[in-house]
Structure 1
Amino acid sequence: MYGASIAFHLASDPDFDGRVTVIERDPTYAFAATSHTNSCIRQQFSDPLNVQISQYGAEYILNFRARSGLADAPDLRLHSFGYLYLADTPDFAAALRDSQQVQAGLGAATRHMTRDQIAEAYPFYALDDIVAGNHNTVNEGYFDGGTLFDWWKRGAKRLGVTFVHDEVVDVIQEADRVTGVRLASGEIIACCWLVNAAGTRAAQVAGMAGIALPVEARKRYTYVFQAETPLDRDLPLTIDPSGVHVRSDGRYYMAGSPPGDDPAVDPADFAFDHALWQDKVWPAIATRIPAFERVRVINEWVGHYDYNTLDQNAVVGPNPDIANFIHVNGFSGHGLQQSPAIGRGMAEWIVHGAYRTLDLTPLGYARIAAGRPIVEKAII
């Protein structure tokens, strides 16, 4: 997603006079995080910059043809069933209230709801243990991330971007700059800028340049299921206190969860834990929504987060010690929804030497080097 987004935004900038090459180790994308995403977007963050990044993403999705300049591109729809965070303790409810105030101050339509208000809007929930919740049904929900990715890639190719099937095995440096990369094929490609968009392999690529990056692959499981008794209205993307989330998916439903034990895994490890549904996911959703006591799983898969172990927030922008090494790493599950704003921001930095719209500096590598985490309370 990020290789395509940044390539397209760069090539679309009228002030850009360079050439862009995207090196892709797996052009089938069979095991890319982009291919295993749930394609959702939300404004419900506690950090103002994360809210603004997703607000731009929603606006970009809703106005994709005009924003991209791709006259033959399809319209993208944003299915705004919203996210519903459920709090089961007073402290959690207070944190949701604080986040709602941040979001509302930036123009988001998030509502802080009492248990009774949630029950009135969605009577199918069992809420005996719930204190409060936050919900937003404006520009928050599901979008077709696969189509967005495909058209960025198509648009980039039309604008002269080259996509190469190979793999970077070494980063070539002179003093404090990257001058090129060596590929597995033996070819050396010179560069003025190197963008690390390697997803779960980002730490490996950064390490080739002597950069320590706290990003690792973590498994995340998705299940699509059919309910014997469907709900009578759209199901918001419900974040249960158990850590399981579930939402409408057309005439079906989609649930997701981290594993019970959440270690780092090899980026090539997509082995499936078939016990997780029975042991954790189904009990949680059936307890929260009794109508889901009788369901049938019709599809399931495991994907990866490129998990930032410091603070589960993106690391973006130039490296302080190697100024032409650009990070777009560690999105920890926020990657697709943040890709329009981050693609635009990286293109601004490379072409103009500064962020011209959103200031993405707080997400820079400097906080990683200092061990200074961003406090983001709304992590899924």
Structure 2
Amino acid sequence: MAHQQRPERASYDIVIVGGAIMGASVAWFLTEMSGFDGRILVIERDASYKTSSTIHTTSCMRQQFSGALNIRISQFAADFVKNLRAHMGGDPRVPELSIHNFGYMYLAQDDAAAQALRDAHQVQIAEGAATRLMTPAQIAAEYPFYQTEDIVLGSINTVDEGYWDATAVFDWWRRSGQERGVAYIENEVVAITRDGARVTSVTLKSGEEVGCGQVINASGPRALRTAQMAGLHIPVEPRKRYSWVFRAERPLAQDLPLTIDPSGVHVRENGGGTYQAGGHGADDPAVAYNDFAMDHSLWQEHIWPVLAHRIPQFEAIKVIAEWAGHYAYNTFDHNAILGPHPEVTNFLFLNGFSGHGLQQSPAMGRGLAEWIVHGEYRTLDLSPFHFDRIAQGRPLVERAII
């Protein structure tokens, strides 16, 4: 998809800083809103997206959260993906998508972790999720490849949990948005100008100053830098997450759920006898925005031993691809930060998803578009994610992060 580097206009009603899946989502949903006829500019610093969190994701969705609102958000994502063509007006060019429902398998190794699964299970069932708690014997009977001697409880849901084609959704949001008049440029915001309680313009690396009615911070792990340009602070930092794709000498005889081992290592089905694993080191600091270097010792000393212990058939495997990506990690409560700043009211947040942003992008884009156009949420009430909870020290903690 071709991108211009300079804006065609001197001002826009909506300027979105960041053109990955969150920016593309809110831009597209704005074009869906009855009564909105404003001009939208999406500014993406790297139109290849090669280091974006969107591209580095495991591309899975789940309903196994500890918070009810996060469950509802993922339920909308499942509906959106499974009915993508209908949601996009029946356009025959839009592919029909599905979810590869291999599920997520959370494994608890002690009583405290097991109780956390039970507590979350109650919330999930109340929200209509199909989560099942499993004893070690039940796990071994249904998934005999696991080593379960050190497991006390498992939790799995194979309805609307698993892999989905996020790239197709992302591509169609951008394509459809552009066809509807959304302007995408490859450039970088280097300054934001305020006049008291309002942002008035953004300055681009290429030199242009672009006037704006509202600015949306959709800059992923760089959210803090964007906020700081407006004189604001947000508790979001880049945390490095490592991924490996490997081939097993003896592939499993059935689909592997996205398994969250008690160690924090996760692994999932990838197809064709290949699997994708991920994790991070015991030390998990914030990193530089451009730090994507691999820690090769992590695989040998931590990831592979965990995989071989939990799934003995993975003692003989060969890595065929590896990369490092970034979480936009909300250090305050691991939840999204959404909506207007309480003082600079035309500066809007779409940040801090802490690793579950991809699956939340349909509901978050729709919700922020509703807020912009109508001044209220008309589907899911997303106000618990507003910035004021941070200013007031009221965390909305999500415990089921990976």
Aligned residue among 266, 272, 275 for 2:294: 272
Structure 1 range deviating more: 7-16 or 128-137: 7-16
Aligned residue among 266, 279, 286 for 1:257: 279
What CA distance in whole angstroms lies between the structure 2 residues aligned with 1:210 and 1:68? 37
Whether 1:9 and 2:33 are equivalent positions in the alignment is: no
Q: Counterpart of 2:6?
A: none
Matches within 5 A, 1:152-167: 152-167=173-188
Q: Counterpart of 1:74?
A: 95
What CA distance in whole angstroms lies between the structure 2 residues aligned with 1:175 and 1:130? 56
Whether 1:50 and 2:70 are equivalent positions in the alignment is: yes
What CA distance in whole angstroms lies between the structure 1 residues aligned with 2:123 and 2:198? 39
Deviation for aligned residue 1:70: 5.4
SS of 1:246 mapped into structure 2: strand
Whether 1:26 and 2:37 are equivalent positions in the alignment is: no
Render the CA deviation track for 1:242-272: whole Å, top value 9, x for unaligned: 0100111012111000123211111111111
What CA distance in whole angstroms lies between the structure 1 residues aligned with 2:393 and 2:142? 43
SS of 1:374 mapped into structure 2: coil
Deviation for aligned residue 1:68: 2.0
Q: Counterpart of 2:4?
A: none
How high is the sequence identity, in percent, across the aligned residues?
A: 57
Aligned residue among 229, 239, 257 for 2:260: 239
Whether 1:368 and 2:396 are equivalent positions in the alignment is: no
Deviation for aligned residue 1:80: 0.6
SS of 1:192 mapped into structure 2: strand
SS of 1:255 mapped into structure 2: strand
SS of 2:213 mapped into structure 1: coil
SS of 1:79 mapped into structure 2: coil
Matches within 5 A, 1:94-113: 94-113=115-134
Kindly provide the amino acid, as one letter, of the partner of residue 68 in structure 1: M
Q: Counterpart of 2:151?
A: 130
Unmatched tracts of structure 2, length 5 or more: 1-20
Residue pair 1:317, 1:364 contacting (<8 A) in 2 also: yes
Deviation for aligned residue 1:12: 2.1
SS of 1:3 mapped into structure 2: helix
SS of 1:52 mapped into structure 2: helix
Unmatched tracts of structure 1, length 5 or more: none
What is the number of equivalent residue pairs in this alignment? 380
What CA distance in whole angstroms lies between the structure 1 residues aligned with 2:307 and 2:136? 18
Kindly provide the amino acid, as one letter, of the partner of residue 314 in structure 1: A
What CA distance in whole angstroms lies between the structure 2 residues aligned with 1:70 and 1:164? 28
Q: Counterpart of 1:214?
A: 235
What CA distance in whole angstroms lies between the structure 2 residues aligned with 1:280 and 1:311? 27
What CA distance in whole angstroms lies between the structure 2 residues aligned with 1:30 and 1:69? 30
Aligned residue among 375, 378, 396 for 1:356: 378
Q: Counterpart of 1:281?
A: 303
SS of 2:308 mapped into structure 1: helix
What CA distance in whole angstroms lies between the structure 2 residues aligned with 1:216 and 1:377? 18
Whether 1:182 and 2:241 are equivalent positions in the alignment is: no
Structure 1 range deviating more: 66-75 or 226-235: 66-75
SS of 1:191 mapped into structure 2: strand
Residue 70 to residue 269, structure 1, CA distance change in 2 (3 Å): farther
Aligned residue among 196, 213, 216 for 2:217: 196
Aligned residue among 302, 312, 331 for 2:353: 331
Render the CA deviation track for 1:298-341: whole Å, top value 9, x for unaligned: 11111100111111111111111111111001111011000000
Deviation for aligned residue 1:179: 1.4
What CA distance in whole angstroms lies between the structure 2 residues aligned with 1:85 and 1:263? 25
Report the TM-score, using the length of structure 1 for normalisation. Answer: 0.98
SS of 1:78 mapped into structure 2: coil
Render the CA deviation track for 1:319-365: whole Å, top value 9, x for unaligned: 11111111001111011000000000010001111111101111111
Residue pair 1:23, 1:167 contacting (<8 A) in 2 also: yes
Residue pair 2:334, 2:397 contacting (<8 A) in 1 also: no
Residue pair 1:112, 1:135 contacting (<8 A) in 2 also: yes
Render the CA deviation track for 1:135-186: whole Å, top value 9, x for unaligned: 0000001111111111100010000000112111111111211111111111
SS of 1:31 mapped into structure 2: coil
SS of 1:108 mapped into structure 2: coil
Whether 1:39 and 2:44 are equivalent positions in the alignment is: no
What CA distance in whole angstroms lies between the structure 1 residues aligned with 2:36 and 2:264? 44
SS of 1:77 mapped into structure 2: coil
Residue pair 1:11, 1:20 contacting (<8 A) in 2 also: no
Q: Counterpart of 1:379?
A: 401
Cα RMSD, aligned residues only? 0.9
Q: Which runs of at least 4 in structure 1 moved beyond 3 Å after TM superposition?
A: none
Aligned residue among 161, 164, 168 for 2:189: 168
Kindly provide the amino acid, as one letter, of the partner of residue 323 in structure 1: T
Residue pair 1:25, 1:166 contacting (<8 A) in 2 also: yes
